[in-house]
Amino acid sequence: MRVHPISALLVLAIAVSLPACKKDAESKDGKAAAEASASTLAVSTTPVVERDMASGITVSGPVAAVEEMQLGVELSGLRVTGLNVDVGQSVRQGQVLLTLDHRTLDSDLAQARAALREAQTGADLARANLARGQNLAADKYISAMQLDELRAARTQGEARVATARAAFDAASLRRSFADLRAPANGVISKRLVQSGQVVAAGMELMRLIRDGRLEWRADLPASQLAAVKPGDTIRLTSREGVNVDGVVRAVSPGVDATTRTGTVYANLPAPQGLQPGTFLQGHIATGTTRAKVVPASSIVMRDGFPTVFVIENGNKARAIRVEQGQKTGDLVEITRGLETGKAVVTEGAGFLADGDTVRVVAPTTSAAAKPQTAGSQP
């Protein structure tokens, strides 16, 4: 049979074009797969592990004086004539801090001193009369009744001396009240009186921080209070970034029925310029504990909650809300939400959303070299 020349040419053209079309299709499929792979976020993962971590409690509380003494006088209606100290000044025990007008007290003391001398003179005369009377009675020159009267006079003279001495001591004591003296070494923390002011007994005039000692106090719920004991160390961080170390001195034996909290008291041996009343955050070290930890880079905030991403079905990221505990170095304790061994996303977690398709790759060199140990609290 004779084949038409045009038909032969068509068959030849189709045969030549078929391999070319197949190559173009394969090229397009490969390009689409490459684009899909390029659009998938590359992430790295690390497993949840258990480690011994330095356990502790972070809480805020005020700095206060260990003992702040309220100072006043025991006299009323007297005017302040001298102020010898000001706020912030260090004082010694027995130092005169304040003086009242003591002219009337000086007069009363002089009268009491004179009355005592008079009583002592009378008592001396009564004793001398009794001695002479006893000699006369021995020779029968005076009667027994007269001798008894001389003995009574001596007793009365000695009683007057005792009365006069008590009055003198009372006047001396009142005179001493006119000088307000420091009851102990310390620092004046407050002054509530001015020179020339008339004061009353019991009125607070000054405050003294005994020995300049400061402490830090924090209120804790019962669940945390039980973990703290005397001798635990604390670290306070001031607003200037200065760390101040202290030691727990005492822990409340119970909790308040209203607030359900108890108080921790910590001594600050070297307060380094801290002021009473300053509210600071402190970390109380309570020992070590076994905890589930993940790198801090794996935790991101989603809708205000700490969240981690785990990989399911090989390439799907699923968001899980977790509860955090202590942070030590680059590791964060997970108290709820994850199981040991579960792989969480570290690099790339901040760019993920629930359900994203991901591609798991090895961590970068810098991340792989990052130490993953539970060190001490910074």
Express each pLDDT in 34-77 by its tens digit: 444 445 788 888 888 888 877 778 889 999 999 999 999 999 99
* Per-chain mean pLDDT for the chain: 84
**pLDDT per residue over 134-179, tens digit each?**
998 888 888 889 989 999 999 999 999 999 999 999 999 999 999 9
Binning pLDDT at 50, 70 and 90, where does residue 223 land? confident
**pLDDT per residue over 91-117, tens digit each?**
999 999 999 999 999 999 999 999 999
**pLDDT per residue over 259-317, tens digit each?**
899 999 999 987 777 888 888 989 888 877 788 888 988 889 888 889 999 888 878 88
Percent of the chain with pLDDT over 70: 86
What CATH topology corresponds to 40-66+214-378? Elongation Factor Tu (Ef-tu); domain 3 (2.40.30)
Strands 233-237, 279-295: pairing kind: antiparallel
pLDDT of residue 374 exceeding 60, the answer is no
- Phi, psi values for residue 89, rounded to 5°: -85, 140
Q: Provide the pLDDT for residue 186.
A: 93
The owner of tokens 């910074």 is 378
CATH (one of 3.30.2310, 1.10.3470, 3.10.28, 1.10.287) for 103-177 = 1.10.287
Q: Provide the pLDDT for residue 355.
A: 85
User: Could you tell me which residues come within 8 angstroms of residue 106 by beta carbon, excluding any fewer than 6 positions away?
Assistant: 175
Average pLDDT over residues 85-96: 94
Strongest mean pLDDT among 23-32, 55-64, 104-113, 364-373: 104-113
Percent of the chain with pLDDT over 90: 44
Q: Provide the pLDDT for residue 192.
A: 94
Q: Provide the pLDDT for residue 19.
A: 53
Query: What residues form DSSP beta bridges with 280?
Result: 61
Closest CA to 270 of 240, 247, 241: 247
Q: Provide the pLDDT for residue 16.
A: 46
Q: 68's torsion region: left (phi>0), alpha (psi -120 to 50) or beta?
A: beta
Average pLDDT over residues 208-217: 92
The model's pTM is 0.60
Binning pLDDT at 50, 70 and 90, where does residue 191 land? very high
Domain 67-101+185-212 class, CATH top level: mainly beta
Greater pLDDT, 32 or 225: 225
Domain chopping of the chain, boundaries:
40-66+214-378, 67-101+185-212, 103-177
The owner of tokens 């189709």 is 14
